[in-house]
């Protein structure tokens, strides 16, 4: 995994390396699955505007 494929989050005195997921279209995503286990922190996205709800293997097809 290269440095571009991961994000390091420093939370207080703890640090966690999180993998980056590359989408077919759109912004990269940070997989926070191990965040709580390794740091004790949760995430908060008040408007659910910066959170992916699932991972899909459906191929993107541009209909235009």
For residues 31-52, one letter each, b for 16 or more C-beta atoms within 10 angstroms of the residue's C-beta and e for the rest, the string is: ebeebeeebeeeeeeeeeeeee
- pLDDT of residue 2 exceeding 70, the answer is no
Q: What is the model's pLDDT at position 58?
A: 76
CATH class of the structural domain 1-54: mainly beta
> Which has the higher per-residue pLDDT, 5 or 62?
5
Q: What is the model's pLDDT at position 33?
A: 92
Q: List, for residues 6-59, the tens digit of each pLDDT value.
A: 999 998 888 999 999 988 788 899 999 999 999 999 999 988 888 877 877 777
- pLDDT of residue 1 exceeding 60, the answer is no
């Amino acid at each position: 995994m290269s440095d571009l494929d991961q994000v390091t989050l420093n939370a207080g005195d703890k640090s966690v390396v999180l993998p980056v997921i590359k989408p077919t279209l759109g912004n990269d995503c940070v997989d926070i699955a191990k965040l709580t286990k390794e740091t004790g922190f949760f995430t908060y996205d008040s408007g659910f505007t910066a959170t992916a709800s699932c991972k899909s293997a459906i191929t993107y097809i541009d209909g235009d």
